[in-house]
Amino acid sequence: MKIIKTSMLLLALFVMAACSSPKNTAPAEKQQVQDQSKPEESKKEPMTQILIKTSMGDITIALYNETPQHRDNFVKLVKENYYNDVLFHRIIKGFMIQTGDPDSKTAKPGQRLGMGGPGYRVPAEFVPSLYHKRGAVAAARDNNPAKASSGSQFYIVDGEVYSPDKLDMIAARTGKSFSPEQRQAYTTVGGAPFLDGDYTVFGEVVSGMEVVDKIAAQEKDGYDRPLKDIKIISAIVVE
């Protein structure tokens, strides 16, 4: 009986020791550390916003942090008042409105525009998650192999809504592929999917799309320049 009692006592002590082992607290401690780190991981750098005051109304755009060279260059030009008095020199309803040519500040009626700039290009920054949905802000460019962007000219996508079949046709013709997110956007909100991967998208309109629509709908000449000048009065960084 003594042996049995002693064995039972030892077993009870072993079970109590096992229950109080620090190993059982490790997962809880690890989970606590992970939970505490989640808020830090979810923090994102806020996007810089630019208020563009035009002769037809205000447009506010946000610049993507994923395209830092385009963002920083745009902010630099804005702070230099580079865009003040620049015209929207090319407009196509259901497609886009383009601006940023400094030569347009002194352009005569009917003068062809679109060749001016600050004298440099910005290297392409293609990001798959940034595409030509309606309201996208992207850099214009000339025909260069590296697809580098104009130093100052940009466009805002007015866009049109595409059917799934039409998207499939564009994909087959151009060799582009569209993610489920892109297909959702292009078939509901609209955009210009055929430009993806060829021009750098570096921002989006956060307010004033009705102004973009209004500008895109104006009368124009055979070179898509508005018959009546539409200008950027000023562009400022929103603090």
Phi-psi category of residue 42: left, alpha or beta, with phi > 0 → left and psi -120 to 50 → alpha: alpha
List CB contacts of 225: < 8 A, sequence separation 6 or more. Answer: 89, 90, 91, 110, 112, 113
Which pLDDT belongs to residue 203? 98
Shared-domain flag, residues 18 and 106: no
Which pLDDT value is given to residue 167? Answer: 97
pLDDT tens by residue, 175-210: 999 999 999 999 999 999 999 999 999 999 999 999
Is residue 25 located within the same domain as residue 59? Answer: no
7 and 103 in a common domain: no
CB 239 within 8 A of CB 227: no
Work out the pLDDT band at 7, boundaries 50, 70, 90. very low
Query: How far apart (Å, rounded) are the C-alpha atoms in residues 81 and 69?
Result: 19
CATH number assigned to the domain comprising residue 126? 2.40.100.10
Question: Are 31 and 60 members of one domain?
Answer: no
| Contacts of 113 by beta carbon, 8 Å cutoff, 6+ apart | 87, 89, 90, 101, 103, 104, 107, 225
* Model pLDDT for residues 16-67, shown as the tens digit of each residue: 333 343 333 333 433 444 444 444 444 678 999 999 999 999 999 999 999 9
| Amino acid 38: pLDDT | 44
Check whether residue 119 and residue 27 sit in a common domain.
no
Instruction: Return the pLDDT at 43.
Output: 66
22 and 70 assigned to the same domain: no
> 217-226, pLDDT tens digit by residue?
999 999 999 9
Domain that includes residue 139, residue range: 48-238
- Pair 232, 144 in one domain: yes
Do the Cβ atoms of 124 and 66 come closer than 8 Å?
Answer: no
- Give the model confidence (pLDDT) of 104-149 as tens digits: 999 999 999 999 999 999 999 999 999 999 999 999 999 999 999 9
pTM for the whole thing?
A: 0.82
pLDDT at 239: 74
Please check whether residues 16 and 130 belong to one and the same domain.
no
Residue 18: the pLDDT is 39
Q: Where do we find the tokens 């109590």? A: 16
The number of folded domains in the chain is 2
Residue 22: partners with Cβ closer than 8 Å, 6 or more residues away: none
